[in-house]
Amino acid sequence: MKLGFVRYLPQDTESVISVYNGSKMSERAKKMKLWEAIGQQLGGVMGMGMRRQMMPGDEMDKDAKPMDEDFAIPEGEQEKAKAATGSLLGAAADDAADEPPMDANGVLSGEDGDGPGSLAASDMLGLEVTVAVGKSAGEQLGNLVTLSTRLSYFQMRALAKAYVAAIKADVAAVKAGDLSSLSSSVVSGFGEDMAKNMINDTEGGLGLLDRANMPPIYVALRTTKDKQAAVAAAVTETFGNMGQAGEMVETVDFEQAGAKFSGFKLLGSKISEQMAKARESMDEAIGADTVDKLLAVLAKKNLVLASATLGEYVVVFFGAAEADCNLVSESAKSITSGSALAFADAYAAKDLAALIVGNDSATKAISHIQGGVSSYTSGLRDGLAGADGAGDTRDLQAMLQLVAEREAALRKLGGTEALGMVAFFEQGLKVESFGGADAGAIDWKTPAKLSHLGDAADVAMFVNWSSDAAYDVKARAYGEALVETAYAMAMKFSELSLETGPMKQFKGMATLFNDKFRGDAVALWDAVKGDMSDGLGQERAFIVDLKGTVPAIPGVPKVLVEKGRFPRATMISPVADRAKLASSWTKMNEACTKLLTKISEIAGQEIPMQKPMSSEKAGYTTWFMSLPFLSDDFVPSVTVGEKWFAVSTSKNRALELLANADQGGAERHGMYLKMDFKAMQEGVAETMKLVDENASAVFGENSPQLEKFTASKAMRTKLLDAMAELDSLTIYSRREATVLRGSTYFKTR
């Protein structure tokens, strides 16, 4: 399998990212008209830069050779590379002041700039770049996530405590709108106190620091043979800066997989000794016992940075110890011999662009990086607990706790799997993924009944999915808890005796909403997320086309109204319980009527609730508001029948789609999205042609807008021509057997 550097990676490797053939990618990009058009739109700077700047892989293709599946390292190659590296470094050390300059293209060169020692940044990236993390990657990434969440917790706790302390300490100033005491409390709370709390924290303190360690990280750069020695020298020279750290570092030399690594080790013991010189202030800040523990933990932490030449690659290693470098030279010991890369076998012959691998622990840790708000709400809850400066906050604390509990319940519906992903070129770019994170939001088992509605040639955008019913219930509960808690916090803040400035205005608005609108707003929300949600099935289809007619809005030229195109957007869902839909409409109408009545009272002007009109056709009832400039092809409307429900900007389009809703088969599962760039380009081109032919009528004779539009014709033509290179974007997520699968296809013409 021609996957490059992965053949040197050990079987315990937990994550890999490889990018292949950067030269081909850059050439493809530079040949696209869209690339040039975008450059010109940025004022010509980007365009000139693209003509002048070396892209990854420039001037490399003529020397590149196919990736070798043989694990044998060419005899003598290590020695030659080492000699070349030593020669270059020796020359630099002898005369550092005469170091060759970097030219405008990012090339380090001699007098003529084209000798064997010349080096562009792209030389390090053009053919392959691989970043891999070995054993304990998931564990250590999890430690970082824990550190981040605990830091968020303590920040919010400190903020809540500062808020209460400021109010309690200087009620008169806060009452007058002076919040300087709050700023002072925040600064104090975010200083030594928070640092001490973090260090002593049972979840994210010294225990976490003790468990944390640098996992083995490998960075491999594949370049052409004539540039390899220069790239190796540049990497080694970069590490050479560590030598200036004196006794804090020591040199290291070791051999692995036939490659001779050299570099430096940053010594934790020396860092600990250096920090101990400031013990007095540290003891005062966090306590002598804590300082002892901190220095002892740091003394055990080392960092190794080393590099070597391995076959066609310049390799950089980061790790806690030399022994952690476990690269292999035998296929039987490589990650390629196990099942981790089995997903990629079917794509080995493709024109590869990238490969990503992550085991289940790494994928789980990455999914947790996205996080939630529970660490913030828990911090606010504990910061308010026991405080008496802000009044009784027990209800608010309970609501903050409820947010954390509902977030945890929602997360339990999701899961993670080992991730495999491969990208390759095939009439554009295709990405196939296997495994990864599943939030639990999609119903993977129920077949889609509306998937065929996206097949028509004039559909510009189509999205189809079925949501998981259990997830919807818990997501709704979580969302409501967030909104209710935010509202309660706002109302608690409004209870303060603030008498000046924007705080007084906020208090007035909050009180007005709570007294007059809260009940009706809640009733409206309950109608939408209660009966209406329960009355609809789980499947959704969102369809956009560009075949609509332009509404006759005052000021829009007649020719555009008669001949122009306008987008039409429609959302369709199956009807689960029509009686509940009717009930939701009654409740929404009642709530909206009450809200408008109260708004009328405040405004001093009657704003009557508009009564919708309805029409019947083919067993469907369509409800809409009648306005002078609306037409059947442009009217926001709701259409409902016994089986289907639609919300649309066009009554005609909704009825067209609903008439075809039962005509398709159940061929797909999961979530499907398609954007048709051809349909978009044709629609924009037709509109531009119409406007060009009637520019005077549209913009006005001799108007500045007409002059500007006419002057932009060449640019618009170029952009439309560039858009013609794009065909479509398709994203399809589903489960095949038990495996989460994803297919993304960016198709070009």
- Using 50, 70 and 90 to split pLDDT, how confident is the model at 507? confident
Element (H, E) at 560: helix 558-563
Is residue 57's pLDDT more than 70?
no
Strands 671-676 and 459-466: antiparallel
pTM passes above 0.85: no
Three-class DSSP category at 609: coil
* 8 Å CB contact between 172 and 256: no
* 8 Å CB contact between 291 and 279: yes
Instruction: Determine the average pLDDT of the residues in 506-529.
Output: 89
Is residue 230's pLDDT more than 60?
yes
Cα separation, 486 vs 494, in Å, equals 12
* 8 Å CB contact between 365 and 142: yes
Contacts of 432 (CB under 8 A, 6+ apart): 343, 347, 421, 422, 423, 741, 742, 743
Element (H, E) at 210: helix 206-211
Instruction: Report the interhelical angle of 180-189 vs 137-169 (nearest 10°).
Output: 150
Burial code of 312-348, b = ≥16 C-beta within 10 A, e = fewer? bbbbbbbbbebebbbbbbeeebbbbeeebbebbeebe
If one counts every other C-beta atom within 10 angstroms of the C-beta of residue 522, the result is 15
Cα separation, 115 vs 369, in Å, equals 46
pLDDT of residue 83: 42
Whose tokens are 């050990």? That residue is: 10
How far, CA to CA in Å, does 618 sit from each of 103, 571, 658?
Answer: 72, 19, 10
Cα separation, 522 vs 530, in Å, equals 11
Contacts of 332 (CB under 8 A, 6+ apart): none
Contacts of 20 (CB under 8 A, 6+ apart): 4, 127, 128, 352, 353, 354, 355
Phi, psi of 387 (to 5 degrees): -85, 140
If one counts every other C-beta atom within 10 angstroms of the C-beta of residue 28, the result is 16
Is residue 45's pLDDT more than 80?
no
Phi, psi of 85 (to 5 degrees): -65, -45
Which of residues 661 and 2 earns the better pLDDT score? 661
DSSP symbols for 302-352:
-EEEEEEEETTEEEEEEESSGGG----SSGGGBGGGSSTTGGGGGGTTSEE
Is residue 298's pLDDT more than 50?
yes
What single DSSP character describes residue 571?
E
* 8 Å CB contact between 34 and 69: no
Using one digit for the tens of pLDDT, what is the confidence trace for 686-737?
A: 999 999 999 998 998 889 999 999 999 988 998 888 888 999 999 999 999 9
Is residue 48's pLDDT more than 90?
no
Query: Within 13 Å, how many C-alpha atoms sit on residue 584's CB side?
Result: 17
Three-class DSSP category at 56: coil
Q: Which of 513, 701, 108, 229 is nearest to 505 (CA)?
A: 513
Strands 15-20 and 351-358: antiparallel
pLDDT of residue 705: 92
Instruction: Determine the average pLDDT of the residues in 368-378.
Output: 83
Is residue 90's pLDDT more than 80?
no
Cα separation, 210 vs 201, in Å, equals 13
Instruction: Output the six-digit token pair for 452.
Output: 């065929």
Instruction: Output the six-digit token pair for 369.
Output: 């990086």
How far, CA to CA in Å, does 379 sit from each of 155, 303, 486?
Answer: 7, 33, 15
pLDDT of residue 51: 42
Percent of the chain residues past pLDDT 70, beyond the cut: 83
Using one digit for the tens of pLDDT, what is the confidence trace for 257-275?
A: 999 999 999 999 999 999 9
Cα separation, 149 vs 140, in Å, equals 14
DSSP symbols for 673-718:
EEEEHHHHHHHHHHHHHHHHHTHHHHH-TT-HHHHHHHHTHHHHHH
Using one digit for the tens of pLDDT, what is the confidence trace for 106-134?
A: 444 443 444 445 666 566 677 899 999 99
Using one digit for the tens of pLDDT, what is the confidence trace for 447-473?
A: 999 999 999 888 999 999 999 999 999
HEC assignment per residue over 504-529:
HHHHHHHHHHHHHHHHHHHHHHHHHH
Work out the mean pLDDT of the chain and round it to a whole number. Answer: 84
Strand partners, 745: 430, 730
E strands in 185-288: 217-222, 249-256, 259-266
- Cα-based angle 216, 221, 224 (whole degrees, multiple of 5): 155
* 8 Å CB contact between 651 and 624: yes
Query: Within 13 Å, how many C-alpha atoms sit on residue 482's CB side?
Result: 12
Using one digit for the tens of pLDDT, what is the confidence trace for 610-652?
A: 788 899 999 999 999 887 788 889 999 999 999 999 999 999 9
